[in-house]
């Protein structure tokens, strides 16, 4: 493969990785919000100590 083609492939890969990271971040925020709501709704009243 010539260098120009490799450069294009690299740029595309970076773009894909960046998009995936943005989607993952958005999904993680949504996931953690839902998880927090779920856990809050289903937690026993007692507090658990985290150490």
DSSP state of 46: S
pLDDT band at 47 (very low <50, low <70, confident <90, very high): low
Task: Give yes or no for residue 8 having a pLDDT over 80.
Answer: yes
Structure tokens that stand for 25 in this block: 């971040």
Phi, psi of 2 (to 5 degrees): -85, 165
Q: What's the whole-number mean pLDDT along residues 38-51? A: 72
Domain boundaries, the chain: 1-42
Q: What is the pTM of this model?
A: 0.50
């Amino acid at each position: 493969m010539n260098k120009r083609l490799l450069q294009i492939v690299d740029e595309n890969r970076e773009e894909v990785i960046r998009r995936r990271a943005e989607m993952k971040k958005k999904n993680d925020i949504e996931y953690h919000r839902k998880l927090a709501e779920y856990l809050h709704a289903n937690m026993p009243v007692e507090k658990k100590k985290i150490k």
